[in-house]
Amino acid sequence: MVRKTKEEAGVTRCHIIEAARRVFLECGVGRTSLEKIAAAAGVTRGAVYWHFKNKTELFFAMREEAVLPFLDRVVFDSADDDPLGGIERAIHEIIRILIDQPRTRETFDILTFKCEYVDEFSPMVACTEGQLDFLDRLTDAYGRARERGQLRLPADPQALAYDTFLFIGGLIRHWLAATADQPFRVDAEAFIRTHIALRRA
Amino acid sequence: MVRKTKEEAGVTRCHIIEAARRVFLECGVGRTSLEKIAAAAGVTRGAVYWHFKNKTELFFAMREEAVLPFLDRVVFDSADDDPLGGIERAIHEIIRILIDQPRTRETFDILTFKCEYVDEFSPMVACTEGQLDFLDRLTDAYGRARERGQLRLPADPQALAYDTFLFIGGLIRHWLAATADQPFRVDAEAFIRTHIALRRA
DNA sequence: GTTTATACAAACATGAATGTATGTAAATAG
DNA sequence: CTATTTACATACATTCATGTTTGTATAAAC
């Protein structure tokens, strides 16, 4: 047993989180044992219990890693000359992130399909603060689009934001569930264009 | 040990399915043991194993009971004078079903939040045949709406159907996740009206 | 340079869930 | 009326996962 330096221990911790993500994705959170995670990370359960209190804590550590950078990347520029186009670009950006960030995609996949929202996980079903914040910023963006006369009337920014929010929720879910050759992946960009075209003046 | 008549056995079977639904909803499918279900149904595991091969089979039996009647109730009348209104009414009907059919609502809740789509459950992530059929009928309805000049242009029925399909998916999910006093429940009807208004000529 | 805390591996104890096998009283078939 | 199946309850065997405890080599603190 060669004791690791502090830096090496950090690496081990990362390996465990990566392994957890892979196993969660394959087995589902409920059917994932810490033994499976440890094996996938090339360590023993001892290492896992050293870095994390239990599976739940490990799960939330994994989630944090992917969700926070995600929200940072989807932004609406309030000084944008073309707010409606900005909304469209933001939605395209969401799909782009799912395509080229495997960790984010896998984490969303786990959160959407491989996790049961009961007991310690049940608080997660409600809209997160991040989601509500997103809704607010979306409403603002539609407000600016209306000021610029980009929207066909009647155009209540709040109502439009909710419609778009629900659209995005459905889109992410079906995009994740689809295989690479199915409509929800192939035509996602077209769906986004249609969605925005419906509200353009 | 009083042996039951064939009819009584059928009742027992129903009780087990009802109990399973309740426990699935509370504990999640993965954390639900057959012992819990049996206790909730007032029988022993022996009875459960007599009527069902295992938890998976019981789960699918429960699902079937709720999903089939649901699809039957959401229909588009192809002879409707007002196809676009028909689409709107169909979406309202979905929410109506969730409100006044607890079994359907609870089953959808389980399917959406209390079940991990791995192994024997993974086929369920893909769009079901029922959903694809719904999409087709939705496309047809939009086609008829276009013929009647109800849609603002450009109006590709297929594209509109997908946008509505994604909207409905998001709506159901957030409606289920919300508490009775939150926007996604309180304003669901308004969201539906907005969604349809966006495509009206 | 000694002490102490760290980063694990290995062993242990416990509990829970599963599937199966067996028992049985009464319904039902003949 | 007897034989057989049905509809369960009960008991058993086995497998896993969990959390904790102990051991230990070494990095780091002093």
In this structure, what CATH number is given to the domain that contains residue A184?
A: 1.10.357.10
Nearest CA in chain B to A123: B177
Altogether, the residues listed in chain A come to a count of 201
Cα–Cα nearest to A111, from A128, A133, A94: A128
A60 domain-assigned: no
CA distance A1 to chain B (A): 37
Residues A81, A156, single domain; the answer is yes
| Per-residue pLDDT reduced to its tens digit, B8-38 | 888 999 999 999 999 999 999 999 999 999 9
Where in A80-186 does DSSP place strands (E)? none
pLDDT band, very low/low/confident/very high, at A1 (cuts 50, 70, 90): low
| Per-residue pLDDT reduced to its tens digit, B52-99 | 999 999 999 999 988 888 888 888 888 889 999 999 999 999 999 999
Are the C-beta atoms of B17 and A104 separated by less than 8 Å? no
Residues A47, A70, single domain; the answer is no
Which residues in chain B touch residue A119, judged by CB atoms under 8 angstroms apart?
Answer: 27-28, 31
Residues B67, B45, single domain; the answer is no
Range of the domain at B99: 63-197
Residues A93, A15, single domain; the answer is no
Residues A162, A75, single domain; the answer is yes
A59 domain-assigned: no
| Per-residue pLDDT reduced to its tens digit, A133-169 | 999 999 999 999 999 999 997 789 999 999 999 999 9
Residues B37, B124, single domain; the answer is no
Residues B190, B129, single domain; the answer is yes
Residues A89, A128, single domain; the answer is yes
Residues B40, B81, single domain; the answer is no
pLDDT band, very low/low/confident/very high, at A5 (cuts 50, 70, 90): confident
Cα–Cα nearest to A125, from B24, B71, B178: B178
**B154 cis-preceded (ω within 30 degrees of 0):** yes
Point out the residue among A113, A156, A198 whose CB comes nearest to the CB of B199.
A198
Number of domain units in chain A: 2
| Per-residue pLDDT reduced to its tens digit, B179-188 | 999 999 999 9
Q: How many CB atoms lie within 10 A of CB A30?
A: 20
